[in-house]
Chain A
Amino acid sequence: MREFFRQARYVVAENPVTGVAFALFLVFVVVALFGPALAPHSPLASNTAEALHPPDAQHWFGTDQLGRDVFSRIVVATRLDLGIAAGAVALAFVFGTGMGLAAGFFGGWADRIIGRLTDTIMAFPLFVLAMGIVAAMGNTVTNIIYATAIINLPLYARLARAEANIRRDAGYVEAARLAGNSEIRIVVAHILPNIMPLMVVQASLTLGYAILNAAGLSFIGLGVRPPTAEWGIMVAEGASSIVSGEWWEALFPGLALMLAVFCFNLLGDGLRDVIDPRNRT
């Protein structure tokens, strides 16, 4: 653990951008946790008299078509967007790692079935599959989480499988076997901790992709429904305005999206440098 922090300090010193990304990450987490309390106005209070006002002292990011404060909506939406992404990544992480470990460690029919499953998922363009799943299962936020989790599953499964495969016949595994440990116990106690760092790096890298995916689905009308505040749907709502010059309604949520994804990508890169310096760009 100490080693990790020492490495982390070295990486941040070498690459200050990672430090900035981490600070930004903390900002997002705080906003997500305390969102509604931080918003100056109610995100749902519409006031048509004030519709489509450009940014001013009262409304830092202006107002949208229904007179709602854009800034407040963005702040409140942070919780929803990050929550969806985190939920999807957590699900994909748990199930994907589990499946991958089983496939890589035990081989045989487990490997074949799980391989079939991941190959089938990857036979689709991923966003299209997510669309299909949400359309089939129903237009709710929960289903966006499930759909995003499903399309991220193969990534984790493949990584875990490859790593488990490598370690399957390692010396310490043999030793554990001879000591009488059950196969399951070996996987959980010996293999899993060793691959955790790599999987965590993968998770941070895909968080960004999960946010984009969820926002994309909301943009085309799947999952999140008005008047809920969510970055993707806010951009959709602002689409018609921006074409006629009222840029603030779509720009700010879009920037929030970009910033969040960029932050997670940088963080993931930084984490990867700490874990595995050989992979530096």
Chain B
Amino acid sequence: MWRVLIGRLSTAIPSIAGVIVVTFVLTRALPGDPAVYFAGPTATPQSVEEIRHQLGLDRRWPVQFAYYLDDLAHGDLGNSLSTGQPVLTEILTRLPASAELTLAGLLIAVLIAVPLGVLAAVRPGSWIDHVCRVVSTAGVSLPTFFTGLLLVYVFYFLLGWSPAPLGRLDIFYSAPPMHTGFYLVDSLIAGDLETFRATLSQLILPAFTLGIFALAPLARVTRAAMLAALGSEFVRTARASGLSRWRIVAVYAFRNAILPVVTTLGMVFSYLLGGNILVEKVFAWPGIGSYAIDALIASDYAPVQGFVLAMAALYVTLNLLIDMLYGVLDPRVGISA
């Protein structure tokens, strides 16, 4: 079991190495003068020189790379020009907001897509099958930012059911005491139902926007995997043995179908993490996505690079977890890894 874990971890190392190299290239080895970028639009030639020396940009590449690695090892991602704060600290502070949003989106997507795909496969040709296929094809065509705006227009402006898209919590409420950073969880821990309700109402629309985005590929894969499982030889054996319909669909077919779905989760997370950025902009969500966008607008360079690195590290970790989850679910993989 441990050998499998180490094996999985070691496949992540080349990925992390690649990510570090790429972010280094993006940071330093640009056409043009990176120092100008980092110094910002209002810098004098002198401060640009200072920055250049500070960042070690006047040294040879291998030395620069060594300094870069050293900085990373110390958790130094540079400082934000606009706030003067260390980028790493700012990212860590804002991470829970993005995480809560992404996880909520994923939950919504899974809760809708998986039953939809299963039912579509169990009743081919029915209206549910058609809904599933339409959702799968159309869902991939929806621009996240546009669906977000549409939902705001309908549910906030027209129907008045949702609060204004102004972030995680209405100004009348204050954030619950910090335990996990997830407002939903923290407000429950503090027993503060008012804040819980307020948080939920702010979270629903952006989470749904993200969820709709991830829905399509999940529904498609679930349906295809269930169809394959239901048509397989071992399901035929199960039917020939007279097993109940429930057991065949839920235990025999579904548990096998879930494996390709888990494999797809990696790609789904790629979409989610990217879509997160767009959704945060539409709903003024104070996560790392809007942090990066604000920095972009202000030509504040260090946060953007830190953001890319952080997202990539997060993604590699998520893929690792997905791999391990797959290893748990599929006994064939554990041994032959």
**A residues whose Cβ falls under 8 Å from a Cβ of B:** 116, 119-120, 123-129, 131-133, 135-138, 208-209, 212, 215-216, 219-222, 232, 235-236, 238-239, 242-245, 247, 250-251, 254, 257-258, 261-262, 265-266, 269, 281
Interface residue from B142, B145, B157, B315 paired with A125 (Cβ < 8 Å): B315
Interface residue from B32, B149, B297 paired with A242 (Cβ < 8 Å): B149
B10 CB to closest chain A CB (Å) equals 14
**B residues whose Cβ falls under 8 Å from a Cβ of A:** 14-16, 18-19, 21-23, 26-27, 30-32, 133, 136-138, 140-146, 149-150, 152-153, 156-157, 164-165, 220, 224, 269-275, 277-278, 281-282, 292-293, 296-297, 301, 304-305, 307-308, 311-312, 315-316
Interface residue from A128, A137, A262, A281 paired with B138 (Cβ < 8 Å): A262
**Interface-centre pick from A128, A129, A138, A208 (highest chain B CB count, 10 A):** A128
Docked complex Cα distance between A86 and B157 (Å): 37
- Which residues in A have their C-beta under 8 angstroms from that of B307? 128
- Which residues in B have their C-beta under 8 angstroms from that of A243? 149, 152-153, 156-157, 164-165
- Which residues in A have their C-beta under 8 angstroms from that of B270? 125-127
- Which residues in B have their C-beta under 8 angstroms from that of A129? 22, 308, 312
A116-B18 CB under 8 A given contacts A132-B26, A208-B140, A243-B153: yes
- Which residues in A have their C-beta under 8 angstroms from that of B164? 243
Chain B residue nearest to A117 (CB atoms) is: B18
A257-B275 CB under 8 A given contacts A262-B138, A281-B133: no
- The prevalent SS among residues of B at the interface is helix
Please determine whether A131 and B308 come into contact, CB atoms closer than 8 angstroms. yes
Docked complex Cα distance between A142 and B18 (Å): 25
A86 CB to closest chain B CB (Å) equals 17
**Interface-centre pick from A220, A250, A254, A266 (highest chain B CB count, 10 A):** A220
Please determine whether A138 and B141 come into contact, CB atoms closer than 8 angstroms. no
Please determine whether B296 and A124 come into contact, CB atoms closer than 8 angstroms. no
Docked complex Cα distance between A129 and B220 (Å): 26
A139 CB to closest chain B CB (Å) equals 9
- The prevalent SS among residues of A at the interface is helix
Please determine whether A261 and B143 come into contact, CB atoms closer than 8 angstroms. yes
Interface residue from B133, B142, B292 paired with A258 (Cβ < 8 Å): B142
A174 CB to closest chain B CB (Å) equals 32
Please determine whether A216 and B145 come into contact, CB atoms closer than 8 angstroms. yes
A138-B269 CB under 8 A given contacts A128-B277, A133-B26, A254-B149: no
Please determine whether A132 and B308 come into contact, CB atoms closer than 8 angstroms. yes
Interface residue from A132, A136, A208, A239 paired with B141 (Cβ < 8 Å): A208
Chain B residue nearest to A128 (CB atoms) is: B311
B183 CB to closest chain A CB (Å) equals 23
Docked complex Cα distance between A254 and B141 (Å): 11
- Which residues in A have their C-beta under 8 angstroms from that of B152? 242-243
A247-B153 CB under 8 A given contacts A127-B277, A137-B31: yes
Chain B residue nearest to A220 (CB atoms) is: B293
A37 CB to closest chain B CB (Å) equals 27
- Which residues in A have their C-beta under 8 angstroms from that of B141? 208, 212, 258, 261-262, 265
A136-B19 CB under 8 A given contacts A125-B270, A221-B297: no
Please determine whether B157 and A244 come into contact, CB atoms closer than 8 angstroms. yes
Please determine whether B18 and A219 come into contact, CB atoms closer than 8 angstroms. no
Chain A residue nearest to B142 (CB atoms) is: A258
Docked complex Cα distance between A33 and B94 (Å): 45
5 intermolecular pairs with C-beta atoms under 8 Å apart: A125-B312, A132-B23, A135-B301, A232-B143, A261-B143
Please determine whether B144 and A216 come into contact, CB atoms closer than 8 angstroms. yes
Docked complex Cα distance between A222 and B296 (Å): 8
Please determine whether B277 and A220 come into contact, CB atoms closer than 8 angstroms. yes
Interface residue from B27, B157, B278 paired with A136 (Cβ < 8 Å): B27
Please determine whether A219 and B157 come into contact, CB atoms closer than 8 angstroms. no
A125-B269 CB under 8 A given contacts A221-B297, A261-B143: yes
